[in-house]
Structure 1
């Protein structure tokens, strides 16, 4: 099946924001979006796609930026080198959104925000072992995996509100089976993923209310996508350090490219309920 048949672009002018973009699933998604855009708008010189890449490693982001530019010269890139576990990261992102708004001669019609960044945390934690001495580490964990998602989405929504011509907006939360199923030893990971999905269900409810009152013309599509066990550093960490390491060693991980293809198919078919949890294996 050709890449064009799985297109999710609703406009030839799109702004795409990806957290955790420097490696793993985020990097694969960035390249897939670039190739998809280039294929779909091959001969359209008015087309442009803006990537806002958010990650901690400057060398990896620079190499990704070079790869994206080699795919299509119409690709415009902003890089935010920051740690989402720190509050300063949200200021960095807010400032970039402001620059993006002021430096644009013609507005984007389609925005895509992908919350991909995340961490496992301590993979041997039980409810009974939680104690106040770990409060600082736990706060840093939830700042990265939950609070930054909520705060960044708030900035993003306020940004969209200033853009009356935005027709479509996708917000994709890279989730996990852990959001809906307990996993021994992975307390913070399960709680964080479940809380993120609860947040997006709340957001969906608010956006529905706004649409019902005709206060926005933007069509919002929200998705909690569980990509399956991917062949990444995070999966290898679970095989080596988690309470469930024996079970994870028996699992054959998926290629990130295959899971990215499935995500594009889901978005293209556009049959999911807003804020639905959709797994690679569904």
Structure 2
């Protein structure tokens, strides 16, 4: 079984999808600050400008927090809603990467979309829309994960390999007008659970990051009306200070990885992890 201490004590390769903004950017920044010297972070998303900004912020955070020891940050522009990009993304992310250069490798599966939250489940009548939603949000998970794990096994040195799926409370708790989103997140959780039974030496985690301030998903939830007052409820959460920053959630994910106390394939929520005492 992979050992989490190698992520932070020895050179690590980290691949992060959906890294041009929001939580993906927060995770890239936290990893850049905490990984060992000689590590490599590959940030992937469809927005090049956003990726460039992620790399800039992450490098600055590294200098401010660590001060010494370089961590390389690369960017790969890719749109995981396109089948061709799904086929090519991991190859681009791992180009020229030699497994023996690292002690561990971690894949953060953060890319995903919300879907139409103005509708209840029975309002969806276009099968093409529903099928396309699940294609966009699920198809890349086995492809990227499989190629990543194959790469990690290719070298003579056995890498400590980790896969983190960014999940949601919606994966385990039904939320009105989020039938597609909830079902997609639940399916991703189960994909990783099954993967751990097939690859027992890979450590996997489904991490629910909590309600995040300022992300596109949150903004959409706050502005989309439906019969269940979802937008009002989410705006009230903001007014009552219930949201987390992406930096807070990303830092909690790294704490969870350091603790390494979850069962393989578990769904763990931000609020399940105690803060440092």
Give the TM-score normalised by the residue count of structure 2: 0.85
Whole-angstrom CA distance in 2 between matches of 1:94 and 1:28: 21
- In structure 2, runs of 5+ residues without a counterpart are 64-68, 273-277
For residue 74 of structure 1, the aligned residue among 70, 78, 89 is: 70
Residue pair 2:120, 2:176 contacting (<8 A) in 1 also = yes
Residue pair 1:8, 1:264 contacting (<8 A) in 2 also = no
Residue pair 1:108, 1:166 contacting (<8 A) in 2 also = no
**Number of the residue aligned with 2:110:** 116
**Helix, strand or coil: the match of 1:272?**
coil
Q: Once structures 1 and 2 are overlaid, which stretch shifts more, 92-101 or 253-262?
A: 92-101
- In structure 1, runs of 5+ residues without a counterpart are 1-5, 42-46, 209-218
Displacement of 1:98 in angstroms is 5.4
Residue pair 2:99, 2:159 contacting (<8 A) in 1 also = no
How many pairs are equivalent?
255
For residue 281 of structure 1, the aligned residue among 247, 258, 271 is: 271
For residue 195 of structure 2, the aligned residue among 203, 207, 211 is: 203
**Number of the residue aligned with 1:226:** 208
Displacement of 1:75 in angstroms is 2.4
**Number of the residue aligned with 2:45:** 55
Change (3 A) 1:141 1:162: same
Instruction: Output the aligned Cα RMSD.
Output: 2.1
Displacement of 1:139 in angstroms is 3.3
**Helix, strand or coil: the match of 2:85?**
helix
After the TM superposition, list the runs of 4 or more consecutive aligned residues in structure 1 that deviate by more than 4 angstroms: none
Residue pair 1:11, 1:109 contacting (<8 A) in 2 also = no
Whole-angstrom CA distance in 2 between matches of 1:86 and 1:152: 13
**Number of the residue aligned with 2:85:** 89
For residue 250 of structure 1, the aligned residue among 236, 240, 245 is: 236
